[in-house]
Amino acid sequence: MYPSRRDFLKSIAGTSTLLSLSHAMPSFLQRTARAAESTSASSDNILIVLQLSGGNDGLNTVVPYSDDAYARSRRTLRLTPNEVLKLDEQLGLHPQVPQFKRLLDDGHLTIVQGVGYSGSDRNHDSALRDWHTAQPGEIQCQTGWVGRFADAASQIDNTDVPGVLVSSIPKPFALNAERSVVPAIPSAAQWTLQGGSASQDADRKAGSGAGNSLLELARTSTQAAGQLSQRVEAVLAKSHSSAAYPRFTLAGQLKTVAQLIRADLGVRIYFTELGGGGIGGFDNHANQRDNHAALLRELSESIAALIDDLKKDGTHRRVVLMTFSEFGRTLSENGRRGTGHGIAAPVFLAGGGLRPGLYGDHPSLTDLDGDAPKHHTDFRQVYATMMDRWLGIDSQIVLGKKYKPLDVFV
């Protein structure tokens, strides 16, 4: 007895030879009107989602250096007015992110302040799941927001591979899709097919069932994958050797993303991560100062290298990178020179089509929730903004309801 078509797709979803299966799937979604709220939205635009694992300390990233409550609450962790990279008379950036300051001055960085959501229990696993599903508290939800976007994009845009994970971490829940294939590609070279023709590889994958529809599907899909592979190989062969990336893991991942973007594969969302490989990542309950500084340096230098690379041929104008972290940190430091789990944190947006600068007010340090600054911008507003006003796909399909978008695009 032959397996069902759906089981067949699941069984091969992780192989490099069948990365473009989604275009051959039946149409579960009807074509919908594109979001037309902004002229920035385009089917050619790309979003890079960068997860900061562990809970980034927003207060020592965008620093309220002139706030007495900040100074009183952080006797060893506070950054002084002489240390920060000043943005205005109240706020400054961490001294280890001068590349962020340069991007902002160049018009390529937007900082959305006070992002979070109501009802977080401040537990890493459940908070990450909330951000990944975009359905806080819905424990029965089995798909992630990127996965649902991939399902929609594969039908609305006829996109072969709507989303890709570029990282060695286990597949994040955000990428769980109902129908689409969202592969993990640690490096651009692993996208390419290795040995043999597409039809030969299809025969190996489909076994002895020659003549059945599954074999024909495999042949069609591997031929399409072969064409994608050739485009990647061509890009790798003429890769911009002059593009300077620092020797950080994140920088290497973003270099891979840049290579795949230039291969024009039709991928709409790339997902990557920082912090999961470190000791605690951004979850700094002790000795936070040096570890947080090192992570922020890697973050800012890697993102700046990506934008500088993409600017060489103007590709930055159709790319936005968005950071997120499962929560911020507490205002007060603890007895071990670290901080606890909080609520609000800033989201960084980098790219060529943004309104640069600070967006929204910095959270109050006198009106707190369990020693944590409150959020004023729901994270799903950020997601909706990226889909409605950048990617050009109606966010309600993915999020289940409409959220007010943010005015962050030119």
Which pTM value belongs to this model? Answer: 0.85
Torsion, Cα of 183, 55, 128, 380 (10° steps): -90
User: Which three-class secondary structure state does DSSP give residue 230?
Assistant: helix
Q: Are strands 46-52 and 269-274 parallel, antiparallel or unpaired?
A: parallel
- Confidence check: pLDDT of 339 > 90: yes
Q: Greater confidence, 19 or 378? A: 378
pLDDT given at position 19: 37
| Residues forming a β-bridge with 116 | 378
C-alpha–C-alpha distance, residues 383 and 200, integer Å: 41
Q: What is the Cα 269 distance to its own chain's centre? A: 7
DSSP symbols for 168-225? SSPPPGGG--SS----B-SSGGGGS--SS-HHHHHHHHHTT-TTSHHHHHHHHHHHHH
* pLDDT tens digit sequence for 125-170: 999 999 999 999 999 999 999 999 999 998 887 777 899 999 999 9
E strands within 352-392?
Answer: 357-359, 368-369, 372-373, 377-378
* pLDDT tens digit sequence for 21-78: 334 333 333 333 444 445 588 889 999 999 999 999 999 999 999 999 999 999 999 9
Tell me the domain boundaries of the chain: 34-194+222-399
User: Which three-class secondary structure state does DSSP give residue 331?
Assistant: strand
Domain 34-194+222-399 has CATH 3.40.720: yes
User: Which three-class secondary structure state does DSSP give residue 130?
Assistant: helix
Give the mean pLDDT of 286-296.
97
Q: Which is nearest to 219 in space by CA: 233, 201, 207?
A: 201
Q: Confidence band (pLDDT; 50, 70, 90) for 206?
A: very low
| Residue 401 in tokens | 């309801």
